[in-house]
C-alpha cells in the first residue's frame, strides 16, 4: 500500500530566513508522499514557486492573501486546498520551526496504527536548546481552569517511546486527519493568533478522538519570532483576547478568574515592572479586554504591529 497523502501547510508572514530554514528541513523529510503549500499571509515581499522549490522540491503551491488573516483563517485557506487535492493528513507547521528527517514517517505511522487518534504533534524542542522540551503534552481542567504543560522546560532523556495522551496540542506543528477535519470543519477563525489550536484540540476530544504527542518525532521551534518575541505587546494582546474567548467557550464559569488575572497583570506592569515596554503591554491588555467585549476578531489595533 502507498503512503497516505500528506499536505504540509506553512503559514508565512515576513520572516524570509526562517521560512528558508524551515523549507530546507522539510526538503530533507524521508516521507514519500508529501506536498507543501505555503500560505503567504499578508507578506510584504512575495515568493515565487521556483524559488521555494529550490529549497524543498515538494512545494506545490503558494496561496496568497494580501492581508494578514491570522493563524486560523490563514491555515483554513491551506486546509481547503489540501483537502481538495486529496490529502489524508494535514500538517499545520509554523515557519519558525525545523523538522527532523524521519518525523513525518513516525507521525503518520502512529496515526495509521491507531484509528482512534485524530490529531498528533511531535515532541517539540527549543531551537536554542536542542534537548530542552518546549512542548511535550498538555493538561486542561475546565473546573479549576488550569492549563499546564508538565514536560515543558525539562531535558529529554530519550526514554519515552509510547504515545502521550494530551488534552491539547500546539499549532506549532499540528497533524490532523482528514476524517477529523471533515467531521469538525475548519479552525475557529475568531481566534486570530492564539488559543485556536487549544480550542480545536478540545473539540476533537469532545467527538471521541485521541489527541496525542509522538515522542519519537522531533522538531525544533524558534519561539515567538512572528510576534516580536516572547513578551511583546502584540503577543500580550492576542493571548489575552483569545483567552477570554476560549474561557467563554470551554470554561464559562472561569471567566471571572481570567479577568482577575488580566487585571493583576495590568497592575503589576504599571506599579512593579521594570520592563521598558511595560506601558505598551498594559495598554495592550486593556485593549484586549475592550476588543473582546466589542466582538473584534481581526488583527487588533494598528499600533501593536508597528
pLDDT recorded at residue 228: 46
pLDDT recorded at residue 223: 80
Report pLDDT digits (tens) over 281-304: 999 999 999 999 999 999 999 999
Distance CA 192, CA 299 (A): 7
Q: What residue spans define the domains of the chain?
A: 6-224, 231-305
Query: Quick count: other Cβ atoms within 10 Å of Cβ 45?
Result: 7
pLDDT recorded at residue 45: 87
Report pLDDT digits (tens) over 86-104: 999 999 999 999 999 999 9
pLDDT recorded at residue 160: 77
Label residues 227-266 b or e (16+ Cβ within 10 Å = b): beeeebbbbbbbbbbbbbbbbeebbeebeeebeeebeebb
6-224 CATH fold: Spore Coat Polysaccharide Biosynthesis Protein SpsA; Chain A (3.90.550)
Q: What is the pLDDT along the chain (306 residues), one digit of tens a residue?
A: 589 999 999 999 989 999 999 999 999 999 999 999 999 999 988 899 999 999 999 999 999 999 999 999 999 999 999 999 999 999 999 999 999 999 999 999 999 999 999 999 999 999 999 999 999 999 999 999 999 999 899 998 777 789 999 999 999 999 999 999 999 999 999 999 999 999 999 999 999 999 999 999 999 999 854 444 447 899 999 999 999 999 999 999 999 999 999 999 999 999 999 988 999 999 999 999 999 999 999 999 999 988
Amino acid at each position: 500500500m502507498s503512503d497516505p497523502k500528506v499536505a504540509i501547510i506553512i503559514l508565512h508572514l515576513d520572516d524570509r530566513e526562517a521560512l528558508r530554514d524551515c523549507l530546507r528541513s522539510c526538503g530533507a523529510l524521508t516521507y514519500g508522499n508529501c506536498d507543501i503549500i505555503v500560505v503567504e499571509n499578508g507578506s510584504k515581499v512575495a515568493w515565487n514557486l521556483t524559488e521555494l522549490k529550490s529549497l524543498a522540491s515538494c512545494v506545490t503551491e503558494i496561496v496568497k492573501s494580501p492581508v494578514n488573516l491570522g493563524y486560523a483563517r490563514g491555515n483554513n485557506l491551506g486546509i481547503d486546498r489540501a483537502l481538495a487535492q486529496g490529502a489524508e493528513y494535514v500538517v499545520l507547521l509554523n515557519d519558525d520551526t525545523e523538522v527532523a528527517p524521519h518525523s513525518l514517517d513516525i507521525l503518520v505511522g502512529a496515526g495509521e496504527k491507531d484509528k482512534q487518534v485524530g490529531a498528533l504533534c511531535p515532541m517539540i524542542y527549543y531551537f536554542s536548546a536542542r534537548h530542552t522540551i518546549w512542548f511535550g503534552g498538555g493538561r486542561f481542567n475546565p473546573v479549576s481552569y488550569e492549563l499546564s504543560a508538565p514536560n515543558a522546560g525539562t531535558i529529554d532523556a530519550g526514554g519515552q517511546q509510547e504515545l502521550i495522551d494530551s488534552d491539547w496540542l500546539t499549532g506549532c506543528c499540528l497533524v490532523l486527519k482528514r476524517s477529523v477535519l471533515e467531521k469538525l470543519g475548519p479552525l475557529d477563525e475568531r481566534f486570530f493568533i492564539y488559543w485556536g489550536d487549544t480550542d480545536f484540540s478540545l473539540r476533537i476530544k469532545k467527538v471521541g478522538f485521541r489527541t496525542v504527542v509522538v515522542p519519537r518525532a522531533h522538531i525544533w521551534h524558534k519561539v515567538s519570532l512572528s510576534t516580536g518575541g516572547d513578551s511583546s505587546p502584540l503577543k500580550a494582546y492576542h493571548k489575552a483576547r483569545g483567552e477570554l474567548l476560549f474561557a467563554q467557550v470551554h470554561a464559562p464559569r472561569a471567566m471571572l478568574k481570567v479577568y482577575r488575572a488580566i487585571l493583576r497583570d495590568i497592575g503589576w506592569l504599571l506599579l512593579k515592572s521594570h520592563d521598558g515596554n511595560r506601558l505598551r503591554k498594559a495598554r495592550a491588555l486593556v485593549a484586549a479586554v475592550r476588543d473582546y467585549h466589542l466582538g473584534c476578531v481581526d488583527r487588533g489595533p494598528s499600533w501593536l504591529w508597528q
